[in-house]
């Protein structure tokens, strides 16, 4: 673990998570040194050889590499004491056949103690109890059973592994229990856990981390629980409880807010997630200074408005720049806060006036409470050139780049829009059915409501779709 990985196959079985990155320019975070991952999860040499989709952390191991060293000293002391008593006073069994190591009181006690120490150390390495008599073995088993387990908490590691590695480790645990593994593998002390902290399997005599008095109902101790929240962060999970956020903040305390966002965003880009906006989730507190937490709701709404605006520019061919210029009544190239709020409402993005009011409060106005076009485009991430719509047969008869003014609200619409984006009236000033909807015909007794084409009956009056008879199901 302490050695630098060389990039060769099998050379980096485990490495620290603070060295993990998916490409050369990916920002690394200062994760704790005891949080590791395996090379099967992500190999460092994969950087720069193309984009790879990230795996989700589902299984992990809690590993104590030196726990057997912490307990072997106490084990040797107990064995020396029992052997010394056995050699000096005997085991109490007249028919004992262990003449070499039972009741040999003749000689120097120091020599007896030295021999007992030699036998005890050899027994701890080979697990051979042939030097102990039957009563001594029973006494030894009782003493070792009551021996408190010790573990060096500074060397308690949490390792993210792949599912295949988790199955292999579980098989090794079963082989360890029946004693068919080599001696150096029988001393391993690990626990196989799921990401929620539940224990799947453990090695015999595994030493659990002591739980805190504050939350004794937790499945893990504080250190392991902190590492679990960090792995959930790597998994791009966004919903945490207040206690989990405190643990996550503790694990990321050495990483700046900017680095946290860059790391999380890059990992999110390499995963398939239904939700990509974190501004309105509890995770936003990890990316925001505590003194700005009261602005989280407004920033989340701003993130949603920017996303809706980008979608409207692509699908509805909305032109926010043209609307900005139209709302500039005095022609100075700037808008007041009231004009900006009205401009956002005219965009018809599906938000309430209260939401637009909260967003306007975040806008960086100048000393005259005005915002220019450049600041508007930068703040709302407006593209310089909106994407052009692919022309159909009707558009081919029109002049590319021309516009038309709505007779009802005077809004300047793109030539690609058959209806006004603000009042939804057609070029003639009358209501026209959009191409993605169907009209409930008034001549058939309908209510003239425009319904989505995915519906076969009117949402208002429950009249059947006019062309329903020609559709095949």
**Residue 60: pLDDT band by 50, 70, 90 thresholds?**
very high
Distance CA 202, CA 220 (A): 14
Residue 10 reports pLDDT greater than 50: no
Residue 74 reports pLDDT greater than 70: yes
Contacts of 182 (CB under 8 A, 6+ apart): none
Residue 2 reports pLDDT greater than 70: no
**Max mean pLDDT range (101-110, 179-188, 300-309):** 300-309
**Max mean pLDDT range (37-41, 136-140, 176-180, 457-461):** 37-41
Q: How large is the average pLDDT for residues 372-376?
A: 87
pLDDT for 390:
46
Check residues 329 and 18 and name the one with the higher pLDDT.
18
> Environment class of residue 88 by beta-carbon count within 10 Å: exposed (0-12), middle (13-18) or buried (19+)?
middle
**Max mean pLDDT range (1-10, 107-116, 160-169, 292-301):** 160-169
Distance CA 434, CA 385 (A): 25
**Residue 186: pLDDT band by 50, 70, 90 thresholds?**
low
Residue 214 reports pLDDT greater than 80: no
Query: Could you tell me the maximum CA-CA distance found in the chain, to the nearest angstrom?
Result: 122
The share of the chain scoring above pLDDT 90, in percent, equals 10
Residue 261 reports pLDDT greater than 80: yes
Task: Give 328-356 as a DSSP string.
Answer: -SS-SSEEEHHHHHHHHHHT--S--HHHH
Size of the chain in residues: 473
pLDDT for 158:
92
pLDDT for 35:
92
**Residue 192: pLDDT band by 50, 70, 90 thresholds?**
very high
Check residues 94 and 246 and name the one with the higher pLDDT.
246
Instruction: Report the run of H or E that residue 259 belongs to, with start and end.
Output: helix 257-269
Residue 216 reports pLDDT greater than 70: no
Q: Tokens representing 69? A: 């060293």
**Residue 248: pLDDT band by 50, 70, 90 thresholds?**
very high
Residue 211 reports pLDDT greater than 70: no
The share of the chain scoring above pLDDT 70, in percent, equals 81
Residue 213 reports pLDDT greater than 50: no
């Amino acid at each position: 673990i302490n050695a630098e990985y060389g990039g060769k196959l099998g050379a980096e079985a485990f490495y620290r998570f603070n060295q993990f990155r998916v490409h050369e320019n990916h920002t690394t975070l200062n994760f704790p040194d005891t949080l590791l991952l395996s090379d099967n999860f992500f190999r460092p040499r994969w950087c720069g050889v193309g984009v790879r989709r990230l795996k989700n952390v589902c299984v992990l191991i809690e590993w104590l590499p030196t726990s057997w060293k912490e307990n072997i000293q106490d084990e040797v002391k107990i064995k020396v004491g029992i052997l010394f008593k056995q050699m000096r006073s005997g085991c109490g069994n007249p028919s004992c056949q262990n003449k070499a190591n039972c009741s040999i009181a003749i000689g120097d006690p120091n020599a007896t103690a030295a021999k007992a120490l030699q036998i005890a150390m050899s027994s701890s390495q080979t697990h051979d109890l042939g030097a102990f008599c039957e009563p001594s073995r029973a006494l030894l088993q009782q003493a070792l059973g009551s021996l408190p387990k010790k573990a060096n908490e500074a060397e308690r590691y949490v390792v993210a592994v792949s599912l295949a590695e988790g199955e292999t480790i579980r098989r090794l645990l079963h082989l360890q229990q029946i004693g068919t593994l080599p001696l150096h593998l029988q001393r391993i002390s690990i626990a196989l856990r799921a990401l929620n902290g539940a224990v799947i399997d453990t090695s015999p005599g595994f030493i659990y981390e002591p739980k805190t008095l504050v939350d004794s109902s937790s499945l893990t101790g504080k250190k392991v629980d902190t590492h679990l929240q960090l792995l959930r962060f790597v998994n791009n999970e966004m919903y945490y409880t207040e206690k989990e956020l405190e643990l996550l903040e503790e694990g990321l305390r050495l990483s700046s807010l900017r680095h946290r966002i860059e790391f999380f965003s890059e990992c999110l880009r390499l995963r398939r997630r239904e939700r990509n906006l974190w501004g309105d989730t509890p995770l936003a507190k990890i990316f925001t200074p505590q003194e700005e937490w009261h602005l989280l709701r407004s920033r989340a709404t701003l993130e949603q408005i920017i996303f809706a605006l980008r979608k409207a520019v692509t699908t509805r061919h909305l032109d926010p720049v043209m609307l900005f210029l139209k709302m500039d009544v005095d022609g100075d190239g700037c808008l007041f806060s009231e004009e900006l709020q009205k401009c956002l409402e005219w965009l018809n993005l599906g938000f309430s006036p209260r939401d637009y009011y909260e967003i306007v409060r975040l806008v960086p106005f100048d000393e005259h409470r005005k915002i220019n076009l450049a600041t508007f485009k930068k703040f709302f991430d407006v593209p310089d050139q909106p994407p052009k719509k692919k022309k159909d047969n009707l558009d081919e008869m029109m002049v590319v780049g021309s516009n038309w003014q709505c007779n009802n609200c005077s809004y300047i619409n793109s030539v690609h829009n058959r209806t006004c984006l603000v009042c939804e009236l057609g070029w003639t000033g009358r209501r026209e059915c959009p191409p993605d909807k169907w009209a409930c015909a008034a001549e058939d007794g309908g209510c003239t409501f425009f319904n989505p084409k995915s519906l076969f009956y009117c949402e208002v009056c429950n009249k059947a779709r006019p062309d329903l008879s020609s559709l095949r199901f």
